[in-house]
Amino acid sequence: MTAAQQKNAAIPFEKALEELEEIVDQMEQGDMPLDKMIQHFERGCALSKLCRKKLSNLEKKIELLVKDNGGDGEWEDFDASSERKTAAVKPAEETLSDEEDQEEDLLF
Protein backbone atom coordinates (compact mmCIF):
# COMPACT_ATOMS: atom_id res chain seq x y z
CA MET A 1 0.00 0.00 0.00
CA THR A 2 1.38 3.39 -0.96
CA ALA A 3 1.69 6.27 1.48
CA ALA A 4 -1.25 8.04 -0.19
CA GLN A 5 -3.42 4.92 0.10
CA GLN A 6 -2.50 4.54 3.78
CA LYS A 7 -3.36 8.20 4.37
CA ASN A 8 -6.72 7.78 2.59
CA ALA A 9 -7.53 4.57 4.49
CA ALA A 10 -7.18 6.46 7.78
CA ILE A 11 -9.85 9.01 6.76
CA PRO A 12 -13.22 8.29 8.40
CA PHE A 13 -16.05 7.57 5.96
CA GLU A 14 -17.96 10.72 6.90
CA LYS A 15 -14.94 12.96 6.26
CA ALA A 16 -14.24 11.28 2.91
CA LEU A 17 -17.86 11.71 1.83
CA GLU A 18 -17.90 15.34 2.96
CA GLU A 19 -14.72 16.09 1.00
CA LEU A 20 -16.12 14.30 -2.04
CA GLU A 21 -19.31 16.39 -1.89
CA GLU A 22 -17.25 19.59 -1.66
CA ILE A 23 -15.20 18.55 -4.70
CA VAL A 24 -18.35 17.82 -6.69
CA ASP A 25 -19.84 21.19 -5.73
CA GLN A 26 -16.67 23.03 -6.78
CA MET A 27 -16.43 21.15 -10.08
CA GLU A 28 -20.10 21.75 -10.90
CA GLN A 29 -19.53 25.50 -10.71
CA GLY A 30 -17.38 25.18 -13.83
CA ASP A 31 -15.10 28.16 -13.17
CA MET A 32 -12.04 26.10 -12.30
CA PRO A 33 -8.86 25.93 -14.41
CA LEU A 34 -8.43 22.65 -16.27
CA ASP A 35 -5.38 21.52 -14.28
CA LYS A 36 -7.18 22.05 -10.98
CA MET A 37 -10.28 20.34 -12.40
CA ILE A 38 -8.19 17.26 -13.23
CA GLN A 39 -6.63 17.25 -9.75
CA HIS A 40 -10.09 17.47 -8.19
CA PHE A 41 -11.35 14.70 -10.46
CA GLU A 42 -8.47 12.41 -9.45
CA ARG A 43 -9.02 13.14 -5.75
CA GLY A 44 -12.76 12.60 -6.17
CA CYS A 45 -12.17 9.21 -7.81
CA ALA A 46 -9.90 8.17 -4.94
CA LEU A 47 -12.44 9.30 -2.34
CA SER A 48 -15.28 7.57 -4.16
CA LYS A 49 -13.30 4.33 -4.27
CA LEU A 50 -12.49 4.68 -0.56
CA CYS A 51 -16.14 5.24 0.36
CA ARG A 52 -17.28 2.24 -1.71
CA LYS A 53 -14.61 0.06 -0.09
CA LYS A 54 -15.55 1.15 3.43
CA LEU A 55 -19.25 0.53 2.74
CA SER A 56 -18.52 -2.87 1.22
CA ASN A 57 -16.43 -3.88 4.23
CA LEU A 58 -19.15 -2.70 6.59
CA GLU A 59 -21.79 -4.63 4.64
CA LYS A 60 -19.73 -7.82 4.93
CA LYS A 61 -19.18 -7.24 8.64
CA ILE A 62 -22.90 -6.74 9.25
CA GLU A 63 -23.75 -9.88 7.28
CA LEU A 64 -21.28 -11.87 9.39
CA LEU A 65 -22.79 -10.47 12.57
CA VAL A 66 -26.25 -11.50 11.40
CA LYS A 67 -24.98 -14.99 10.58
CA ASP A 68 -23.24 -15.23 13.96
CA ASN A 69 -26.51 -14.33 15.62
CA GLY A 70 -27.96 -17.65 14.46
CA GLY A 71 -29.42 -16.41 11.22
CA ASP A 72 -28.74 -17.54 7.71
CA GLY A 73 -27.24 -14.24 6.66
CA GLU A 74 -30.44 -12.75 5.31
CA TRP A 75 -30.86 -9.01 5.66
CA GLU A 76 -33.43 -7.43 7.88
CA ASP A 77 -34.96 -4.06 7.07
CA PHE A 78 -33.67 -1.36 9.39
CA ASP A 79 -36.33 0.40 11.39
CA ALA A 80 -35.00 3.60 12.95
CA SER A 81 -38.16 4.03 15.01
CA SER A 82 -37.73 0.64 16.63
CA GLU A 83 -36.93 0.71 20.32
CA ARG A 84 -34.93 -2.48 19.95
CA LYS A 85 -31.30 -1.83 20.83
CA THR A 86 -29.76 -5.03 19.50
CA ALA A 87 -29.70 -6.66 16.11
CA ALA A 88 -31.75 -9.78 15.61
CA VAL A 89 -32.69 -12.06 12.77
CA LYS A 90 -36.30 -12.56 11.80
CA PRO A 91 -37.56 -15.99 12.85
CA ALA A 92 -38.34 -18.41 10.03
CA GLU A 93 -42.09 -18.04 10.70
CA GLU A 94 -41.95 -14.45 9.48
CA THR A 95 -40.92 -15.38 5.97
CA LEU A 96 -43.35 -15.09 3.07
CA SER A 97 -46.44 -17.24 3.15
CA ASP A 98 -47.02 -19.63 0.24
CA GLU A 99 -49.61 -17.25 -1.24
CA GLU A 100 -47.26 -14.26 -1.03
CA ASP A 101 -44.46 -16.35 -2.50
CA GLN A 102 -46.65 -17.35 -5.46
CA GLU A 103 -47.64 -13.72 -6.03
CA GLU A 104 -43.99 -12.75 -6.30
CA ASP A 105 -43.52 -15.31 -9.08
CA LEU A 106 -46.00 -13.45 -11.31
CA LEU A 107 -44.61 -11.02 -13.86
CA PHE A 108 -47.33 -8.41 -13.43
User: Which domain range does residue 17 map to?
Assistant: 3-105
Where helices occur in 11-105 by DSSP H, the ranges are: 13-29, 34-68, 98-105
Q: Digits of tens for pLDDT over the chain (108 positions)?
A: 787 777 777 899 999 999 999 999 999 998 999 999 999 999 999 999 999 999 999 998 888 887 777 666 565 555 556 554 555 545 444 545 555 555 555 544
- Structural domain count, the chain: 1
Sign (positive or negative) of CA dihedral 81, 83, 85, 86: negative
pLDDT at 65: 81
pLDDT at 13: 95
Q: Are 74 and 66 in contact (CB under 8 A)?
A: yes
Closest to 17 in 3D by CA, of 44, 56, 57, 42:
44
pLDDT at 92: 47
Specify whether the backbone of 70 is left (phi greater than 0), alpha (psi in -120 to 50) or beta: left
